[in-house]
Structure 1
């Protein structure tokens, strides 16, 4: 299963008038929690001796640390009130998905002193982010070990994975859309201009030639067919030569996806391929999807992009499946038949 791996920029922020010691305690707690979840993160220990963001004049240097490290998202825990303008300047410069959070405050001390005032600080930061035009997500004040924090953080990470997989995606396009399928018309120029998404076209003639060449001389073919059979795949009414073409199609698409760094594939699955090779690609589509390269039927590029989003947003390792919403259940109000010709990964069984 291919999922976009997220590198997180961790920018704990404090305000000068609150406890430095308590801020450093929460910085340590957060880093320990992220390590326990095996999160790849870059902190600000090289920014200053505290590794905290509290000086607006250091926001540019902090941004450079994250940009140079190639982070995919920002997490800004307010370890006390925080320095809202520094956070806004940092986020504006880095331009990555942003998560705000602060620990829930304890009761004031006996003398009335408060350690953090994180809720008030989060309100201030969020207001300035709106002024700067920076979108953000947030988790309500909560303890580091609380289910609220874990759920909010992991949901954000899933959303960040989805966003990063969508932007600048490369979709392999096998032939044109089927003539009658106006529903899968796309604006290729808009995809490139707005989100940096590229389509990588190939013709069915190229696919046919590549598959037939593989059938003749690719040494991997035998092992691929053996793997099918070892997993209990049944090729009903298909001779060995036809099964070999199915295996060759899988290998051809995998090689193409690796060579072109494809995120997903949109395949014109009928009916020219059947005429050219005497096979349907549905099983092969399911194989690639199970391996983390979603394949959408009928040259549905928007469907391929949706599959990428779902694959990366999912917190499970279950693969996506591509289907039509066909009919409502005859009697049950909240039931629907999800159907297609067979591109569902075998892992879903």
Structure 2
């Protein structure tokens, strides 16, 4: 994954001048030791310059973590803490910041050894709000050295995502296809999130593609594709064109990302793409996503944004799927009922033409795109990657701007079942607890499009915290039985 931040987290301890500084010094040392004993520890930096008690100390600590190359910060209240200096530290640090605090160690040290950080965290949170400073505060932010070490570890994917978004550019090609208003959304919220966007015509892309004809790198890319596809290479004649297109996109990214470090792509794939390029881009999209450069289908800009968020959190390939169709009753009865604790309405099929990374498929083959081939010659619809999605834990999620420029998100954890789909495309049988209610009262009620991002693992906690940090006011989730949605009829 070469398209997401590498984190270096600075740990700065703070102390109120009327409390023993040694409390913060010793507790910081214990925290760092606990983290390094439990986790790798190579991505954290213990700032030795000073314990922050004043604004002057704050400047010194800030310069130190910047010099050390830190792009995320943990402000650690070893005791009550100086509410002004510690919040100014967060204000002037250019990156995500977490506040945590030390619990008391022993009933035998509650005189000179009492730190009152539990109280100090309240003042820190008040001052952060007073100054309009964003900071991440864990669900329960006070703990022992070992517990605070766990908080830092949970902060890493959140910090990595926030750092990535601050340096992200989304590159799009073409307007959405006709009859595709579902993925239409204002781009104003991208700028509010600190994300840049470069919108291009698909004609610009076509020109760049034609200029790559005969590129000497094409044979090497073809060889790599052949190795990846193996026996699934059922359309070998189209590989040179796909390789040419892949090089076009990669070169465009390098030439156009400008001052930004990270890129996601919202690409065009129909209706004129096939007839003009002579193939469909699905397999290439899957390969770039596997490299850590998410590519959304159908110029879904917020889909690309969601995929990038999932990539940063999971440090793995993600995919974008249609929340597509129901599982037929006979299939549910034969393959799911009695074997898994899911109702029929908990299940559905997630599908897209062929954009899912081959690593996330049980097996794969590169074929033609069946839906498009119903209206076009088959030879111009080649290039889609088909296969059942590998079973395992997943998180379905999306960040979306509504038509009236309001940010909404949803997160739902579930799994892909080991059930043969008997269908085509990149597809899987998904199960999410209480999916039927979630589908009606979040996805439909809140006007989400049919595209959802999929991370391969359970990452709901980190995603929820990222969305909170970004200021998303409505975050939907699959509420359990007995917890009614606002629009849910209590009479059933």
Q: 1:110 to 1:92 in 2, by over 3 A?
A: closer
Matches within 5 A, 1:325-340: 325-329=323-327, 330=329, 332-340=344-352
d(CA) in 1 for partners of 2:280 and 2:109? 75
* TM-score when normalising by structure 1: 0.86
User: Residue deviations 1:3-51, cap 9 Å, x none?
Assistant: 22233332211223433334322222334455653454555434xxxx2
Partner of 2:242: 246
Among 223, 226, 235, the alignment partner of 2:220 is: 223
Matches within 5 A, 1:272-291: 272-291=272-291
Among 27, 32, 40, the alignment partner of 1:37 is: 40
Q: How many angstroms does 1:173 deviate by?
A: 1.0
Q: 1:313 to 1:226 in 2, by over 3 A?
A: same
Q: 1:310 to 1:334 in 2, by over 3 A?
A: same
Q: Residue 145 of structure 1 aligns to a residue in which SS? A: helix
Q: How many angstroms does 1:91 deviate by?
A: 1.9
Q: Which moved more, 1:127-136 or 1:285-294?
A: 127-136
Q: How many angstroms does 1:54 deviate by?
A: 1.0
Does the alignment pair 1:198 with 2:196? yes
Partner of 1:119: 118
Greater strand proportion: 2
d(CA) in 2 for partners of 1:197 and 1:207? 22
Q: Residue 53 of structure 1 aligns to a residue in which SS? A: coil
**Contact 2:58–2:86 at 8 Å: present in 1 too?**
yes
**Contact 1:168–1:195 at 8 Å: present in 2 too?**
no
Structure 2 residues not aligned, in runs of 5+ = 330-342, 362-492
Partner of 1:74: 73
**Contact 1:318–1:347 at 8 Å: present in 2 too?**
no
Q: How many angstroms does 1:111 deviate by?
A: 8.1
Matches within 5 A, 1:133-212: 133-139=132-138, 140-146=141-147, 149-192=148-191, 194-212=192-210
Partner of 2:303: 303
Q: How many angstroms does 1:308 deviate by?
A: 0.9
Q: 1:174 to 1:38 in 2, by over 3 A?
A: farther
Q: How many angstroms does 1:312 deviate by?
A: 0.9
Partner of 2:27: 26
Superposition CA RMSD, Å: 2.6
Residues paired across the two proteins, number: 337
User: Residue deviations 1:69-99, cap 9 Å, x none?
Assistant: 6643321111222222211222233364321
Q: 1:111 to 1:73 in 2, by over 3 A?
A: closer
Q: How many angstroms does 1:246 deviate by?
A: 0.8
Structure 1 residues not aligned, in runs of 5+ = none
Q: How many angstroms does 1:223 deviate by?
A: 1.3
Partner of 1:343: 355
Q: 1:24 to 1:60 in 2, by over 3 A?
A: closer
d(CA) in 1 for partners of 2:110 and 2:131? 38
* TM-score when normalising by structure 2: 0.63
User: Residue deviations 1:156-198, cap 9 Å, x none?
Assistant: 2211222222234211112221122112223235533x23422
d(CA) in 1 for partners of 2:27 and 2:76? 9
d(CA) in 1 for partners of 2:17 and 2:196? 47
Matches within 5 A, 1:250-269: 250-261=246-257, 263-269=263-269
**Contact 2:34–2:149 at 8 Å: present in 1 too?**
no
Greater helix proportion: 1
Q: Residue 318 of structure 2 aligns to a residue in which SS? A: coil
d(CA) in 1 for partners of 2:273 and 2:10? 46
Does the alignment pair 1:130 with 2:126? no
**Contact 2:7–2:72 at 8 Å: present in 1 too?**
yes
d(CA) in 1 for partners of 2:87 and 2:207? 55
Q: How many angstroms does 1:266 deviate by?
A: 0.5
d(CA) in 2 for partners of 1:258 and 1:34? 37
